[in-house]
């Protein structure tokens, strides 16, 4: 039997490496040495650390979840004895197991199944067959045609047809052409690309090489954020292994096709996910967007024709080449083909990596796969596409996962961030969070973004801190539309989306804030504590502990909070044994 530990960043953060050490300890003490291997992100981040038990033939016997170091002894002995009753309590529940069953995995096809640090594991799963097929039997035009048939669109968020970009780069005139992978995944709450690189780096490499072949690029870069150290280590290792096997570098697989891939670690600026800013950064300049046109296909890295795609886009390519464009296009809707990976997070029961065919509804993803809202809460909205996206409310839950359908709600498909919010989430505060993010991450180049997002954030701070004034909503909308229309790049043009959608669907919450109440009871400054005179026993506890002496009252008589003095620290609420302090 084989013991495989899920060692993506998510598993490691939950303690997977400690579990591995404990298991290795057990093996050292045991006479029988079982294989203890690793894999990447299995996708069920909410259950990490996960330990899978496989037969020697590679069949999954059992999946153990939320494993602790202290479980190592019984796991090892169970694996030795083949008696799983010892670890029955750790086995994944049927309900949780359904998280994976409802998915269709193409980009994530190897994630959690193979060892990301072993090229032979990838090759054993049909790895590099597509590259071989491409080089040996297809012309670049064939490749582009196949991608065109597949309907693959840019998974970074904008959803631009991939074949079109490849074709433009192929046709652009230039001695040297570059292929660039955008792995600068910066949306808060998004981790699809990280999971792919950490769990299946060769899928990215293979997809990139096929693309390089198609456009005629001999040099390629992966621009990955430095905050992904594990991804960088695994990608470096994978590149070295591929190079050693002549799958990368000069005369790949003995053909005339040569291409090498280099890693460039980005310093963590969100705007560098914008393709022209990424190119500036790659060139060693400050990451600031360039005016388009000219598009990168014409003038990109060092002014040479360049093509940029996102990690997930590349991760689909080998599958499409092997299975045909039609197979990919068979999945999805009229306007959106194939599958899409989402990082499902927030107040959902089961969070993690989800890959589903286009056309499923938001309800399918959040309720069927994600299991609905945790802690007995009710669904309020889902934020799609991070800071560039928008929120979608309850009544639109049956919207299909489709570029067009999602855009019509005011949100976007985005790169795959899907943050679920419950009734305790203040939508104004949520918009404020995202504007704080974009205002700080604005590169500072263009006026509408640099100053406009700042002013929007200031208004949102005022509104959530009880200083909102009539007219603020209108001003917010004016600023939103002005920034959207005037900003130079995608960051600024989409930055107002969280505001526009929350105003569209939750205007009453904005109005309530301006009238000094937060309906979700989340905004500190708008909280109001008071004492229920019926319940108050006059124990004086709250009055004695109030840090600003805002509570007055005689012993054994009802106490009163002076609202002018109250700093809303909530100490009284926590202290009162009689439930007399109420927060409004």
Partner 1 sequence: MRKVFKMQNDMVNLIIDGVDISVASGSTILDAAKSVGIEIPSLCHLKDLGPFGACGVCVVEIKDSPKLARACATKVSPGMVVYTKSEKALAARKFAVELIMGDHDADCQGPCKLNCPAHTDCQKYIKEIADGDYAKAVSTVMEVFPLPASVGRVCPHPCEKACRRKNVESPISIAHLKAFAADMLMKEGKAVEIKKHAPTGKSVGIIGGGPAGLTAAFKLAKAGHDVTIYDQMPEMGGMLRYGIPEYRLPKKVLRYETDAIVSLGVKFKNNFKIGRDATLDEVRAKHDGLIVANGAWKASSMRVKGEEAEGVWGGIDLLRLVATGQRPNLGSRVAIVGGGNTAMDACRTAVRLGAKDVFVIYRRTRNEMPAEQIEIEEAIEEGVKFKFLCAPDEVLSKDGRVTGMRLQIMELGEADAKGRRKPVPVVGKFETIELDTIISAIGQRNDPDGFDQLTQTEKGTIAANESDFATNLEGVFACGDSVNKGAGIAIEAIAKANTAACALDAYLKGASFKPHKPVLSERNVTEKDFTDIPRQERCKLNIRPGGERRLDFNEVNLPLSEQVARNEARRCLECGCHDFNNCALIRTANLVKADTKRLRGEFHPGFVERKLIAIERNQRKCILCNLCVRTCQDLAHKGLLGLVGRGFTTVIKPEFRDEASIAQCKDCHLCADNCPTGALKIL
- Which of 439, 473, 499, 572 is close enough to bind partner 1 by CB under 8 A? 439
Choices 56-64, 119-127, 231-239, 452-460 (CB under 8 A): range interacting with partner 1:
452-460
Does residue 446 bind partner 1 (CB under 8 A)?
yes
Report yes or no: 151 and 106 within 8 Å, Cβ to Cβ: no
Other Cβ atoms less than 10 A from the Cβ of 361: the count is: 18
DSSP β-bridge partners for residue 309: 181
Contact 9, 111 (CB under 8 A): no
| Residues in binding contact with partner 1, number by CB under 8 A | 29
Least distance (Å) between residue 480 CB and partner 1:
11
465 touches partner 1 (CB under 8 A): no
Is residue 495 part of the contact set for partner 1 (CB under 8 A)?
no
Which listed residue (485, 555, 557, 567) binds partner 1 by CB under 8 A? 485
The answer to whether residue 451 forms part of the interface with partner 1 (CB under 8 A) is yes
Is residue 41 a contact partner of residue 6, using CB atoms and an 8 Å limit?
yes
CB of 488 to partner 1, least distance (A): 5
Does residue 458 belong to the site contacting partner 1 (CB under 8 A)? yes
443 binds partner 1 (CB under 8 A): yes
- Closest to partner 1 by CB, 404 vs 556, is 404
Measured from the CB atom, is 65 or 443 closer to partner 1?
Answer: 443
* Residue number, 102 or 286, with CB nearest to partner 1: 286
If one asks whether residue 447 binds partner 1 (CB under 8 A), the answer comes out as: yes
Q: Nearest approach, Cβ of 444 to partner 1 (angstroms)?
A: 3
Cα–Cα distance between 159 and 413 in angstroms, integer? 8
Whose Cβ is closer to partner 1: residue 391's or residue 446's?
Answer: 446
Could you give the dihedral angle defined by the CA atoms of residues 310, 316, 318 and 323, in that order, rounded to the nearest 10 degrees? Answer: -160
Contacts of 18 (CB under 8 A, 6+ apart): 69
* 452 near partner 1 (CB under 8 A): yes
Between β-strands 339-346 and 417-422, what pairing exists: parallel, antiparallel or unpaired?
Answer: parallel
Cβ 487 to partner 1 shortest distance, Å: 8
Q: Which of these segments, 46-54, 234-242, 249-257, 438-446, binds partner 1 (CB under 8 A)?
A: 438-446
User: Taking CB under 8 A as the rule, does residue 455 contact partner 1?
Assistant: yes
3-state SS record for 87-152 = HHHHECCHHHHHHHHCCCCCCCCCCCCCCCCCHHHHHHCCCCHHHHHHHHHCCHHHHHHHHHHHCC
Between 201-215 and 140-150, two packed helices, what is the crossing angle to 10 degrees? 120
Among 444, 552, 565, 583, indicate the residue that binds partner 1 (CB under 8 A).
444
Does 469 bind partner 1 (CB under 8 A)? Our answer is: no
126 Rama class: left (phi>0) / alpha (psi -120 to 50) / beta: left
H-type alpha helices, 297-396: 311-323, 325-329, 362-363
Give the pair of three-digit tokens for residue 330.
């068979």
In this complex, which beta carbon is closest to partner 1, that of residue 18 or of residue 454? 454
Return the biggest CA–CA distance within the chain: 92
Residues of this chain that bind partner 1 (CB under 8 A): 269, 286, 288, 291, 293, 439-448, 450-455, 458, 478-479, 482, 485-488
């Amino acid at each position: 039997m084989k013991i495989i530990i899920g060692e993506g960043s998510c598993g490691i953060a939950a303690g997977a490496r400690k579990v591995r050490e404990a298991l290795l300890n057990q093996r050292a003490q045991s006479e029988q040495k079982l294989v203890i291997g690793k894999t990447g992100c299995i996708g069920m981040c909410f259950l990490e650390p996960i330990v899978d038990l496989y037969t020697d033939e590679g069949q999954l016997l059992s999946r153990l979840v939320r494993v602790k170091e202290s479980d190592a002894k019984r796991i090892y002995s169970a694996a030795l004895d083949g008696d799983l009753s010892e670890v029955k309590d750790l086995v994944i529940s049927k309900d949780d197991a359904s998280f994976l069953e409802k998915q269709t995995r193409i980009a994530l096809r190897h994630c959690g199944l193979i060892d990301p640090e072993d090229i032979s594991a990838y090759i054993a799963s049909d790895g590099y067959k597509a590259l071989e097929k491409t080089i040996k039997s297809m012309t670049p035009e064939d490749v582009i045609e196949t991608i065109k048939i597949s309907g693959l669109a840019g998974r970074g968020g904008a959803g631009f047809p991939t074949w079109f970009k490849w074709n433009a780069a192929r046709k652009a005139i230039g001695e040297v052409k570059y292929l660039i992978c955008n792995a600068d995944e910066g949306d808060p709450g998004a981790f699809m690309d990280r999971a792919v690189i950490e769990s299946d780096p060769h899928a990215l490499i293979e997809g990139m090489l096929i693309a390089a072949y198609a456009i005629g690029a001999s040099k390629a870069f992966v621009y990955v954020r430095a905050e992904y150290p594990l991804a960088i280590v695994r990608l470096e290792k994978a590149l070295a292994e591929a190079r050693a096997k002549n799958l990368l570098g000069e005369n790949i697989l003995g053909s005339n096709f040569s291409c090498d891939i280099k890693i460039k670690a980005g310093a963590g600026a969100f705007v560098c996910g914008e393709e022209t800013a990424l190119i500036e950064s790659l060139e060693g300049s400050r990451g600031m967007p360039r005016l388009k046109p000219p598009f990168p296909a014409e003038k990109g890295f060092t002014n040479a024709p360049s093509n940029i795609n996102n990690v997930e886009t590349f991760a689909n390519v080998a599958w499409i080449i092997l299975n045909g464009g039609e197979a990919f296009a068979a999945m999805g809707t009229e306007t959106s083909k194939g599958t899409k990976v989402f990082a499902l997070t927030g107040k959902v029961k089961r969070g993690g990596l989800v890959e589903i065919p286009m056309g499923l509804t938001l309800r399918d993803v959040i309720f069927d796969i994600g299991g609905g809202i945790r802690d007995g809460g009710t669904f309020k909205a889902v934020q799609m596409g991070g800071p560039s996206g928008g929120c979608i409310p309850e009544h639109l839950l049956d919207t299909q996962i489709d570029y067009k359908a999602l855009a019509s709600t005011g949100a976007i498909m985005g790169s795959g961030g899907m943050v679920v919010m419950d009734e305790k989430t203040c939508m104004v505060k949520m918009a404020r969070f995202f504007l704080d993010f974009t205002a700080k991450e604005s590169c500072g180049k263009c006026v509408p973004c640099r100053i406009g997002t700042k002013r929007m954030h200031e208004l949102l701070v005022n509104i959530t801190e009880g200083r909102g004034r009539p007219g603020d909503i209108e001003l917010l909308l004016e600023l939103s539309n002005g920034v959207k229309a005037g900003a130079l790049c995608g960051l600024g043009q989409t930055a107002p989306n969280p505001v526009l959608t929350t105003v569209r669907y939750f205007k009453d919450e904005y109005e309530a804030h301006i009238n000094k109440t937060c309906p979700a009871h989340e905004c500190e400054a708008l909280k109001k504590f008071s004492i229920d005179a019926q319940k108050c026993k006059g124990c004086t506890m709250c009055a004695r502990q109030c840090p600003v002496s805002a509570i007055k009252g005689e012993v054994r008589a009802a106490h009163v909070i002076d609202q002018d003095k109250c700093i809303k620290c909530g100490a009284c609420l926590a202290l009162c044994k009689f439930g007399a302090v109420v927060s409004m």
